[in-house]
Each structure stands twice: as structure tokens, then as C-alpha cells.
Amino acid sequence: MRVSSTARAAGVVTLVLAGLLGSAYVLGRSLVPDQTPRHPTGVITGADGPHYADQPSVAEPGDAPNTSASTSAGPAEAGQDGSGRDAGGDNLFGAHSTTGTPRLALTFDDGPDPRYTPEVLAILREYDVRATFCVVGENAQNHPDLLQSIVNDGHTLCNHSWHHDVGLGARSADAIRSDLLRTNAAIRAAVPNAPIVWYRQPGGAWTYPVVSVARQLGMTPLHWSVDPSDWELPGASKITATVVTQAEPGSVVLLHDAGGDRQGTVEALRRMLPDLTARFELEALPTDPT
């Protein structure tokens, strides 16, 4: 059977189109960036260590459900107004969001971190300021020397869960208790006599079970009233401006000394302390909260 010239031409065109489509697919795949692996409890892993996602913008497969509180610590996503109150006026299951005194408290979450925690400690030492460090259990275990430095400088410790589990409050009471006890054990392995009387839920995702278990273990739930969202890396100037303009007597200021690039926070701390120390008495939260 003879093939017409029209049929031969159509066949050539088909082959050419198939080749072009195949090349386009390969090129497109090469341009798609690799997805950073994300731990199902809010830890983004990377070559330089854990990065804690305080405010994940979307739920990832495998994330723990949280029906009682948002997984975000930012006011816009958590439905909070930045004052430590729900937008609807409800309290955070009794979590403290102020010091209860005219004094102001600086708090640092997610550490200790060998890159930034020593810088934060040096600046606080320079201004003779005591603060509260909400430490992650896995980091406490990995950097016991930094925990010792924190305690030796007179700062207060706070349990911040084992690996920054934003969804911890939605788990069973036994799972919550195991996580908090594991974190306390890592802290006490480094600083056996240091009191651990505060607990801060990652992401501010408070639920009744996590508050209840923390209290049963002798820890007072700790929220905040001033949040410059330094986890978003807005830069030192914006972090400084937010803190110095929103700070008032009794404020609990949320900052981070780990969990990502915190150089902006370190620089902001150096800028804000002259103003804060001139206007307030700064304190480490007490080790005997009432």
C-alpha cells in the first residue's frame, strides 16, 4: 500500500510535536524547586539545623489536628489582637499574658542555639537585664552548656515542648504529659537544680488539655502581650519599633533566639534595650508564680 505525501507529512508533524512536548516536560521539572522537607509537628529541617515554623500558613499532610486553637502565633492567623486575648474576648485557658506587676518581661523562644543565644546573653549581660528563655527539649539536650550559661546569668527557664510541637495541645493527655516530662528531663540533665515553673505552648496554640497537664506538672502556662513577629524576619528596625511602641507596664514580650535566622532579633535587642531600661524595670519571670 502506498502512503500519500499528506499522510507522511502528518506523521512527521506528530513526531516533532511529541519531541517538543517531552522536552518541555523535562525542562519544566528541572525548574521546579525542591521542596524543603517539613516535620509533621512544625519543624522544617535543613542543613543548618531545625527551623521552627511558629506560624505555618497552610496545613501540611500529617499535621496534628487542632480543633481548639489555631496553629499560628501571629495575631492575623490566630484570631488574636496581639494582647494575649482572643479577638472574641475569651481568655487563653488561663495562660498568663502579662507579668501581673508594673515590670516588663522579655522572653526568648526556641533555643538554645549556639549561633544566637550567646549573643543574646551577652547583650542582656551588658544592660544587666534578666529574661526568660522558653527552651525546646531537643535543643536543651544538644546544647547543655548554653542552658548552664542561661541559668548562671540569672535567667528563668520555661518548657517549650520537646520539638516545638504546635499541635501538641490536640493530642492525648498522656502524650502531652510525656512530651513535657521529656523536655523537663533534658533541662534538668543540664541544670539539675534550676526550677522549671513555666510552660509556653508553641504557636500559642492553647487548649484546655495542654494547660491542664502543664498545671498538673507544676508549670504555669505563659503567653505574651507584645509580639513583633520577629519569626517573619521583618528586620531589626521594625522589630524594635513594634516593641518600644507597644510595651507597657506588665508586658510580656515575645522574641526568638533560635528556630531560624535571628540576627535581626539580636540587633533589635541591642537597639531596644536603652529605651526599655529607661522606661521600665525589666525582670525574669519569677520562679514561684502565683
Residues recognised as catalytic: 109, 256
Q: What is the DSSP letter of 101?
A: S
Shortest CA distance to 280 belongs to which of 180, 162, 131? 131
Partners of 114 in the beta sheet?
Answer: none
**Beta-sheet pairing, 220-221 with 196-199:** parallel
Type of residue at 248: E
H-helix segments, 153-287: 173-190, 208-216, 236-246, 263-279
Q: Is 144 left (phi over 0), alpha (psi -120 to 50) or beta?
A: alpha
Q: Measured between alpha carbons, how far is 173 from 214 in angstroms, rounded to an integer?
A: 10
Q: Which residues does 155 contact at the CB level (< 8 Å), separation at least 6?
A: 121, 124, 130, 131, 132, 133, 284
Adjacency order of strands within the sheet including 252-256: 220-221, 196-199, 156-159, 132-135, 105-109, 252-256
Q: Measured between alpha carbons, how far is 96 from 158 in angstroms, rounded to an integer?
A: 13
Tell me the CA distances in angstroms from 105 to 12, 28, 58, 266, 281, one per residue in order: 75, 51, 31, 16, 9
Burial grade of 179 (CB within 10 A; 0-12, 13-18, 19 or more):
buried
